[in-house]
Amino acid sequence: MPVNKVVQSFDKAIADIGDGASIMVSGAQGPLGVPRNLLLALRRKGVHNLTLITATGYRSVSAARFYGFPHAEDWIDHGILIDNHQVSKVICAMAYVPGRDSILQKQYEAGEVELEHLGHGPFIIRMWAGAAGLGGVYQPVGIGTILEQDKEKRVIDGREYLLEMPLTADFALVGADKADSYGNLVYKGTGRQYGPIMAKAARVTIAEVDEVVEPGGLAPESIVTPGIYVQKVVRAPPEVCK
Amino acid sequence: MPVNKVVQSFDKAIADIGDGASIMVSGAQGPLGVPRNLLLALRRKGVHNLTLITATGYRSVSAARFYGFPHAEDWIDHGILIDNHQVSKVICAMAYVPGRDSILQKQYEAGEVELEHLGHGPFIIRMWAGAAGLGGVYQPVGIGTILEQDKEKRVIDGREYLLEMPLTADFALVGADKADSYGNLVYKGTGRQYGPIMAKAARVTIAEVDEVVEPGGLAPESIVTPGIYVQKVVRAPPEVCK
Amino acid sequence: MKERLDEQTMALRVARELQDGWYVNLGFGIPALCTNFIPENKTIFFFAENGLLGFGRNADYDEAGRLGWRYVDAAAHPVLPVPGMAVFDYAEAFDMIRGGHIDCTVLGGLQVSGKGDLANWRLPIYKGKGGTIGGAMDLAACCKRVFVVMTHTEKSGKPKIVRECTYPLTAKGCVDLIVTDIAVIRVTERGLTLEETAPGWIAAEVQELTEASLEVSPNLRVMEL
Amino acid sequence: MKERLDEQTMALRVARELQDGWYVNLGFGIPALCTNFIPENKTIFFFAENGLLGFGRNADYDEAGRLGWRYVDAAAHPVLPVPGMAVFDYAEAFDMIRGGHIDCTVLGGLQVSGKGDLANWRLPIYKGKGGTIGGAMDLAACCKRVFVVMTHTEKSGKPKIVRECTYPLTAKGCVDLIVTDIAVIRVTERGLTLEETAPGWIAAEVQELTEASLEVSPNLRVMEL
């Protein structure tokens, strides 16, 4: 059978995601790379107790306002799952600005949501360790800070390091520019961001892309995420958000 | 001053490499990616006591024969430095086939050369740890094998891992397809191989390329090795080896 | 002497285990011959540890020259690109292996033990640090499935399927399936199960040439070739 | 009250420290203003931790729209591409930081200690797990040089250059240079050295507003602006 990873609807693409799943979602800076329609499908489905592994613990409404997008209040990113109370744990690089009316802060302080606030480098290196099959890595960031808590510290060659454990997930939802039907992905500009690392770190990766091409439609050297890391591809309708 | 990393001769490009330097050299499979002219310059210069960090401990004459290249016996790769007795230590993924008249084997058994034979994954992950500023990584390959020797073993989540330490070098010599004058590199086909990881892991990277273009001559998304990892660029004369 | 399967036929048999859509690594030697036996209605993505996924057949010298030796596999053989192929570097390739993303590796073997230990990277006669480990340990330790294809015995007649490996180990407990020139043997938690014999061979004759003990499958059958 | 430098002037002063050919990260706020003060004869490659190296000035809404919001910096501001720019992913970006490949980061600060400890990611009033660490700890701990640009005191007048940081730490002993609205102070192994004062300020007045003790450089001079 010719392999074809293209799925015809967003609801079908996320059909296997159930209550209690762990999910990495790309997106943080700018409108590119956010798998908006997959997130909307997940909100429609209403699954609960999700573990959300994302850059931030909030919806980037202020960024959307900055861009001057009409309807910035309706900005869609991973934050909609927190806002909709579908998340029971957040693992992120940036949690929230205390006191700035954060929905996550309220849920966290009410005991509704568990929070792991990692900082950016540790967030990324843990996903990388998960993607690359490592048992753990010693990294130098966070010495003398709150990140030391509960972590093994070790001096190697005269420098201090913290042991970080691998982070994987049941699913990754990533936004990309183009896919072929084998799941090979290319990204546009800084829309690349977390796509490559999350696609590698999750067991099942679902990509929302602007364009689907036949195998051969992407030059072999230009492929950023090889199809081995991608299980499903779904095409976004043109220009939902602008 | 406009930054321009292009150097006009191979001898100038390697001028800073002295006795006792550690050097990573790309190349192993096929003719692409081998920095032939930099290696020839290093042989001309006659520096000694080099630590050579390369895929193999031999010159790929048999591969060259297989390709049907004329003068396969004169095949140029990192092996010429071993053949010329300029190397006092080899760190590699594949050392030699015992008994097959290997020059490294003779030098090693005569006590002339020190040898670290790592296997491929550990070879690469150690360079990666060096490139990425890690203190060490726990990786699962080599359990129950000779690779366990002298390594810390640790059970994490029920699986055994070995601790690998970072590997860096004073210099990397890499072969690439094109560079711009800022040192951004792109590679052709499987000529990519070790270029990206060695360029990141060494303190000074010298790239031998088939073509030099102005900044802007490479699309931002197409760049594989960003110029931050590359200190010098030198253009190869057309088609020395075929 | 009874007739044994030739290398092509062994490759044919193991190739039949490869499932549609799998990402598969083939070792040097007999494993590499599997490419000749993938039916048209199956898509297998072949992986080369030097940074290729989904490549085509070997290129001859002229074809390679026309392509500027642009794509070679891990054995340094030039290959043809096919639509949907991806190129990357060694670091990405070994992340794929170590991260458990490769569905299957087919490897040659010098010895396989009753527990599925594999020895395939060096003969034990040499005692020094040398040899060529390469990617063998990574592939054997980390791929989702490890299939070994090899002659059932050494040229001297010495069994290669043994109680304990005496040759330098590649990885412990990694082998899932052994295809030889006289049998197909599955490795399970309970040990080795003889599932198929080559035409003309019976279970007792296979056991005779095997040092480790074989459990005979209730569904033992003759290989279909 | 004596006149202090405004934000643009602080940025001008710290920007003068950036050397031709450096790869430089600029934090949010005052550090980001440095882009306005790079002379034409200097090439500085600006790094954004979301995967950009060598980008140009901020794009306005129309420019960003025409570019399809293709390039944004770590603060989510659209930027213009310039020739020689490279794009990559977060993993590569943090390898660059952690691997010590970035020549310099210019960061804002809440507190800097006499030993060069930096606190800049969260006010201490909040006790929970929240806040936005982001890449601050990585940049401060791993870049080759860390320059801090900040007002010399809090709005209340409380010194920000202190004996020991009381705010949550970003990184220990990381700061090389502090540029404030009244002084330039270098951090060495011996402590803090006052190298420059803003026009109209003398060393004793700067020390007055500084909790940590300052050694006055024998070459103390007035900032050239």
pLDDT in tens, A46-62: 999 999 999 999 888 87
pLDDT score, position B240: 47
The alpha-carbon gap from D65 to the nearest alpha carbon of chain A, in Å, equals: 9
Instruction: For residue B120, name the pLDDT band (cuts at 50, 70, 90).
Output: very high
Determine contact, residues D9/D121, Cβ cutoff 8 Å.
Answer: no
pLDDT score, position A64: 78
Q: What is the chain A residue with the closest CA to C143?
A: A133
Buried b (16+ CB within 10 A) or exposed e, D151-179: bbbeeeeeebbbeebebbbbbbbbbbbbb
CA distance B102 to D33: 60
**What are A235's strand-pairing partners?**
A209
| Six-digit token string for C211 | 């040092």
CA distance B184 to A109: 47
CA-CA-CA-CA torsion sign (B142, B144, B150, B153): positive
| Residue from D17, D49, D195, D196 carrying the catalytic annotation | D49
Phi/psi class of residue C153: alpha, beta or left (left: φ > 0; alpha: ψ in -120 to 50)? beta
Q: Which residues of B touch D98 (CB under 8 A)?
A: 132-134
CA distance A79 to A39: 9
More confident residue, B75 or B173: B173
Q: Out of A193-207, C129-143, C199-213, which region has the weakest mean confidence (pLDDT)?
A: C129-143
pLDDT score, position A241: 44
Largest CA distance in chain C: 54
Query: Residues B43, B49, B50, CA angle at the centre, nearest 5°?
Result: 65
pLDDT digits (tens, 9 = 90+) for C8-21: 999 999 999 999 99
Q: Please state the rounded mean pLDDT for residues A128-147.
A: 97
Q: Beta strand B202-213 with D118-119: parallel, antiparallel or unpaired?
A: unpaired
Q: Is D49 a catalytic residue?
A: yes
Cβ within 8 Å, pair C84-A184: yes
Determine contact, residues A56/D74, Cβ cutoff 8 Å.
Answer: no
Say how far residue B129 (Cα) sits from the centre of its chain: 16
Cβ within 8 Å, pair B121-C138: yes
ipTM at complex level = 0.96
Q: Percent helix, strand and coil across chain A, each rounded to 5?
A: 30, 30, 45
| Six-digit token string for D134 | 């982001």
Determine contact, residues A228/A205, Cβ cutoff 8 Å.
Answer: no
Cβ within 8 Å, pair A188-B221: yes
pLDDT digits (tens, 9 = 90+) for B123-162: 999 999 999 999 999 999 999 999 999 999 999 999 999 9
Question: CA torsion B213→B216→B219→B223, rounded to 10°?
Answer: 60
CA distance D153 to D144: 26
Q: Please state the rounded mean pLDDT for residues C160-171.
A: 97
Q: Percent helix, strand and coil across chain D, each rounded to 5?
A: 20, 25, 55
Cβ within 8 Å, pair D129-A108: yes
Question: CA torsion B8→B11→B16→B18, rounded to 10°?
Answer: 170
Q: Is the pLDDT of residue A90 over 90?
A: yes
| D7-12 CB contacts, 8 Å cutoff, 24+ apart | D7/D33, D8/D33, D8/D36, D9/D181, D9/D225, D10/D149, D10/D179, D10/D180, D10/D181, D11/D36, D11/D37, D11/D149, D12/D36, D12/D37, D12/D225
pLDDT score, position A60: 84
Place of tokens 């869609």: A76
pLDDT score, position A231: 98
Q: Which residues of D touch A178 (CB under 8 A)?
A: none
Number of H helices, E strands in chain C: 5, 13
Q: Please state the rounded mean pLDDT for residues A184-205.
A: 98
Q: Please state the rounded mean pLDDT for residues C103-120.
A: 97
Instruction: For residue A99, name the pLDDT band (cuts at 50, 70, 90).
Output: confident
Q: Please state the rounded mean pLDDT for residues C51-74.
A: 92
Q: Please state the rounded mean pLDDT for residues B91-114.
A: 90
3-class DSSP state of A82: helix
Q: Is the pLDDT of residue B242 over 60?
A: no
By C-alpha distance, which of C184, C117, C186, C126 is closest to C150? C184
Q: Please state the rounded mean pLDDT for residues A208-225.
A: 98
CB pairs under 8 A between A and B: 64
Nearest to B195 among C76, C89, C123 (CB): C89
CA distance C83 to A40: 33
* pLDDT averaged over 10-residue windows placed end to end, chain D, 225 residues: 94 97 96 94 96 94 91 91 97 98 97 97 76 92 98 97 96 98 97 98 98 98 94
Instruction: For residue A71, name the pLDDT band (cuts at 50, 70, 90).
Output: confident
Q: Which backbone phi and psi does D23 adopt, to 5 degrees?
A: -100, 120
Q: Is the pLDDT of residue B241 over 50?
A: no
pLDDT score, position C103: 98
Which chains have 3+ CB pairs within 8 A of B?
A: A, C, D
pLDDT score, position A242: 40
pLDDT score, position A187: 98
More confident residue, B239 or C58: C58
pLDDT score, position D90: 97
Which chains have 3+ CB pairs within 8 A of A?
A: B, C, D
pLDDT score, position B239: 61
